Amino acid sequence: MDDMLKDLNRRFDHAALQPQVTEHDIVILCREALSHDLYGVAINPVWVRRARQALTGSAVKIVSVAGFPLGAGRTDLKVAEAVKSVGDGAHEVDMVANIGWLVAEDFGKVVEEIAAVRKNLPYNVLLKVIIEAGKLTESQQIAAARAVIDGGAQFVKTSTGFFGAATTDQVTRLYKAVGGQIEVKASGGIRTVRQCREFIEAGATRLGSSASVSIMEELRSRRGDR
Amino acid sequence: MDDMLKDLNRRFDHAALQPQVTEHDIVILCREALSHDLYGVAINPVWVRRARQALTGSAVKIVSVAGFPLGAGRTDLKVAEAVKSVGDGAHEVDMVANIGWLVAEDFGKVVEEIAAVRKNLPYNVLLKVIIEAGKLTESQQIAAARAVIDGGAQFVKTSTGFFGAATTDQVTRLYKAVGGQIEVKASGGIRTVRQCREFIEAGATRLGSSASVSIMEELRSRRGDR
């Protein structure tokens, strides 16, 4: 068994973030996370309480989002969304940076906004910041990763999944840019064991995917092949 | 000149809602709206103040969004986003309904949420509700339109533009469903004069498009042809 894929299940934020997701879908998502012992579920704020109920007493983490997926809301409401999600039961928050500020290279504003969210969250809540790398130049991606560190977040995350897939190059670039100070989450278009392997090799410690279950099944069938 | 296309400019919410939109893009959007005498600009909340500054003294309306584009946030934060946008200068708010509730046919919750936003806005602010028709069955679209009326909003709007284009069938269906009680806004994938004509014929009184300028130029070149 490939070392890179050891405990792969513990790297997944199992995601259901589409607008048409129902309460029923959230219950199924939580059951899947429990049955495959996945790290967490990544869901929209309106579903956090329902997920808390479905996951009570388990180790599965609840990951909510803030300013998702456009990142173009007011800072005070990104803060409020993050804080309320934690109040509802979220253990982690994936916020979207203001992508327009990143494109305009107004990094100071990005740092300030991240810091505003960070300082309003309990210290034990992990904050990830999505930079929508596919909309940025390579140097903007690097500067964005530095801004995430400066804002005090714990992860830089490649993409929302709504505007194209993450690439190995992006993960490698972000991993180098953060130099071990924070972690890297890859997300967007992750559907195979092979992709997981490549992203982990490139430096990602967390993977966001709506295909976590089929990936775990692919892995299991491979193991059966040996 | 085609009667359906009379004053077409006055039907456009000229939209720039992508995550990578910058302050500079917003300034250009506002200038375009001024120079073509468009009805309004449709923008994300973080840019409303900048647009107000750019549009001071003009007739161009500012349309902001709430819970956009997923509709899967908490109701209290959709309310807060709508209220703060109006405080920042928005004249109209396009909110996204909870699409999961619509899919689960939990229409009572949808009505309650719309009513919560409506009752917190000044009477003279128009509220539109996006139902993301492409994610709904035909009967769900009709029930959604009724829910929008029951919630007290002024417009039902087909789509966010992030999950597929509006269709003429959707607009016809919504127009019949609302029976003149509220108006219909078509949005998503509108790029030609021909589409505008079809949507207006089907009953839409407002059109959301990021291609308003090229549509107005197409119309002008047609007029030149006569």
Domain ranges of chain A: 3-223
Backbone angles phi, psi at A126, to 5 degrees: -75, 135
Identity of the residue in B19, B69, B103 whose CB atom sits nearest the CB atom of A20: B103
Nearest one of B59, B8, B74, B19 to B43, comparing CA atoms: B19
* CB-CB contact of B205 with B186 (8 Å): no
- CA pair distance B110, B102, nearest whole angstrom: 7
Nearest one of B174, B208, B175 to B65, comparing CA atoms: B208
Q: What is the pLDDT of residue B52?
A: 98
Contacts of A99 in chain B (CB under 8 A): 19-20
pLDDT in tens, A138-168: 999 999 999 999 999 999 999 999 999 999 9
Q: What is the pLDDT of residue A142?
A: 98
Residue A99 has pLDDT above 70, yes or no: yes
Q: What is the pLDDT of residue A225?
A: 55
Query: What SS3 state is found at A163?
Result: coil
- Within an 8 Å CB–CB cutoff, is residue B124 touching chain A? no
Q: What is the pLDDT of residue B40?
A: 98
CA dist list (Å): A48 to A11, A124, A199: 20, 18, 28
Domain B3-223 belongs to what topology? TIM Barrel (3.20.20)
Q: What is the mean pLDDT of residues A2-10?
A: 89
Binning chain B into helix, strand and coil, the percentages to the nearest 5 are 50, 15, 35
Cβ <8 Å between B22 and A104: yes
Of the residues A13, A61, A78, A94, which is catalytic?
Answer: A94
A185 is catalytic: yes
CA dist list (Å): B114 to B72, B79, B88, B111, B210: 13, 9, 21, 5, 26
Residue A20 has pLDDT above 90, yes or no: yes
- CA pair distance B23, B25, nearest whole angstrom: 5
B18 → chain A, closest CA residue? A70
Position A223 confidence tier, pLDDT thresholds 50, 70, 90:
confident
Count other C-beta atoms under 10 Å from residue B75's C-beta. 17
Query: How does the average pLDDT of chain B come out, rounded?
Result: 97
A103 → chain B, closest CA residue? B20
Cβ <8 Å between B70 and A72: no
Query: What SS3 state is found at B162?
Result: coil
- CA pair distance B28, B47, nearest whole angstrom: 12
Question: Which amino acid, A154?
Answer: Q
- Within an 8 Å CB–CB cutoff, is residue B34 touching chain A? no
Cβ <8 Å between A74 and B163: no
**Best residue in B47, B65, B74 for a mutation probing chain A (most A CBs within 10 Å):** B74
pLDDT in tens, B181-192: 999 999 999 999
- Within an 8 Å CB–CB cutoff, is residue A107 touching chain B? no
- CA pair distance A42, B226, nearest whole angstrom: 57
Beta-sheet strands, E only, within chain A:
12-16, 40-43, 61-66, 92-96, 126-130, 155-157, 183-187, 206-209
Q: What is the pLDDT of residue B1?
A: 57
B94 is catalytic: yes
Q: What is the mean pLDDT of residues B80-95?
A: 98
Query: How does the average pLDDT of chain A come out, rounded?
Result: 97
Contacts of B89 in chain A (CB under 8 A): none
A94 is catalytic: yes
* CB-CB contact of B93 with B61 (8 Å): no
CA dist list (Å): A154 to A180, B121, B170, B202, B221: 11, 37, 44, 51, 54
- CA pair distance B14, B208, nearest whole angstrom: 6
B22 → chain A, closest CA residue? A100
Q: What is the pLDDT of residue B148?
A: 98
Query: What SS3 state is found at B205?
Result: coil
Residue A224 has pLDDT above 90, yes or no: no
Cβ <8 Å between B47 and A21: no
pLDDT in tens, A40-81: 999 999 999 999 999 999 999 999 999 999 999 999 999 999
Cβ <8 Å between A100 and B25: yes
ipTM of the complex, rounded to two decimals: 0.96
Whole-model pTM over 0.80: yes
* CB-CB contact of B105 with B74 (8 Å): no
List the 37-66 stretch of B: residues with Cβ below 8 A of A: 44-47
Contacts of A87 (CB under 8 A, 6+ apart): none
Q: What is the pLDDT of residue A3?
A: 82
Q: What is the pLDDT of residue B2?
A: 77
Count other C-beta atoms under 10 Å from residue B164's C-beta. 15
B74 → chain A, closest CA residue? A46
Backbone angles phi, psi at A138, to 5 degrees: -60, -45
Q: What is the mean pLDDT of residues A1-14?
A: 90
Q: What is the pLDDT of residue A1?
A: 57
Q: What is the pLDDT of residue A2?
A: 77
Cβ <8 Å between A44 and B72: yes
Cβ <8 Å between B100 and A21: yes
List the 151-210 stretch of B: residues with Cβ below 8 A of A: 162-163
pLDDT in tens, B40-54: 999 999 999 999 999
Q: What is the mean pLDDT of residues B103-115?
A: 98
